[in-house]
Amino acid sequence: MATNSSLLDTFSAQFSGYGAPQSVVATALQELQRSRRARSEAIQAAAAAAAAAHAAAAATPTDDASLLPEDLTKWTADDAMELVKVFVKIRFPFVLVLNKCDAGGDVDKNVLRFSTKFRDSPLVLTSALAECFLQKLQQQKMIAYDPSSGSAYCSEDLRGPGSSRLKEEQREALKALKPIDPKAFSRLEKVRDLMLFRHGSTGVAEALRVAVEVLGQRLAVFPVKSLQLASQDKKGRGPFVECILVKKGTT
């Protein structure tokens, strides 16, 4: 729809239904102009290099055709689609979390397919089932599990081939664990092989970390009613149990 308004005003009205403030639309237009200009400069540089290789004079650059025309009647369908893609990426950032990556079968083929199709989006391989399993064993005091490092040890590791690599404090911690039953130990070995050793973790904590990173400009807030009245909860935890992320400027 052609109007006498600027591109910013026009698209701010068009995208208002997506809850996007004018600043977000402005960022999308700027990002689109920047990417188109960079693409145009790369093409011109390649053309100049080709002309120089053939001992021909490079053509004098004219107006930059890569810039979006202010007149919407001169926009093409490709111009509009390109803007929509940039806007969606900025307004609705997402992390591609591929769960069940330890399921076998065509997992590797599917990961390659998704990473190729969504090459500009962050991708994290996860196994939520493996994470739940490890968390459950830890609650039952059968393993010592650290999600940040992706390590999971049990009492059986004191007698395993890698026991010599355990530090003294690790040995003491493992001695305090409950014995793990053969069925759970067999499953633990599979989780360690398919997820912890191969990918470094179950991917769940990494997915959360990347999501926070993608959102950006967030502050961590720990809501409490009273530091005096909420010194500990029923599980013996301190007052700062829950954490929420809010935008800067939130009151």
Question: Which of 25-39, 57-71, 146-160, 200-214 comes out lowest in average pLDDT?
Answer: 57-71
- Mean pLDDT over each residue of the chain, to the nearest integer: 84
Write down the pLDDT at residue 58: 45
Residues 6+ apart with CB under 8 A from 125: 98, 101, 111, 199, 203
Q: How many CB atoms lie within 10 A of CB 117?
A: 9
Torsion sign over Cα 136, 139, 140, 145? positive
* pLDDT classification of 62: cutoffs 50, 70, 90: very low
Write down the pLDDT at residue 114: 92
* pLDDT classification of 161: cutoffs 50, 70, 90: confident
**Residue 60 confidence (pLDDT) above 70:** no
Write down the pLDDT at residue 132: 96
Mean pLDDT of 3-27: 83
**Residue 230 confidence (pLDDT) above 60:** no
Torsion (CA) 135, 136, 139, 143 in degrees, nearest 10: -70
Span 124-148, pLDDT tens digits: 999 999 999 999 999 999 999 998 8
Give 191-196's long-range contacts (Cβ < 8 A, gap of 24+). Answer: 191/102, 191/127, 191/130, 191/133, 191/134, 191/152, 192/152, 194/102, 194/127, 194/130, 195/101, 195/102, 195/127, 195/130, 195/150, 196/150, 196/151, 196/152
**Residue 89 confidence (pLDDT) above 80:** yes
Do the Cβ atoms of 20 and 92 come closer than 8 Å? no
Tell the residue number behind the tokens 């202010």, with chain if given. Answer: 70
Determine the Cα–Cα distance for residues 34 and 18; give it in Å rounded to an integer: 23
Write down the pLDDT at residue 2: 47
Q: Work out the end-to-end distance of the chain between its first and last CA atoms, rounded to an integer number of angstroms.
A: 39
Report which residue type is found at 85.
Answer: K
Write down the pLDDT at residue 55: 56
* Strand spans (E) along the chain: 96-98, 123-125, 143-146, 151-154, 218-221, 244-247
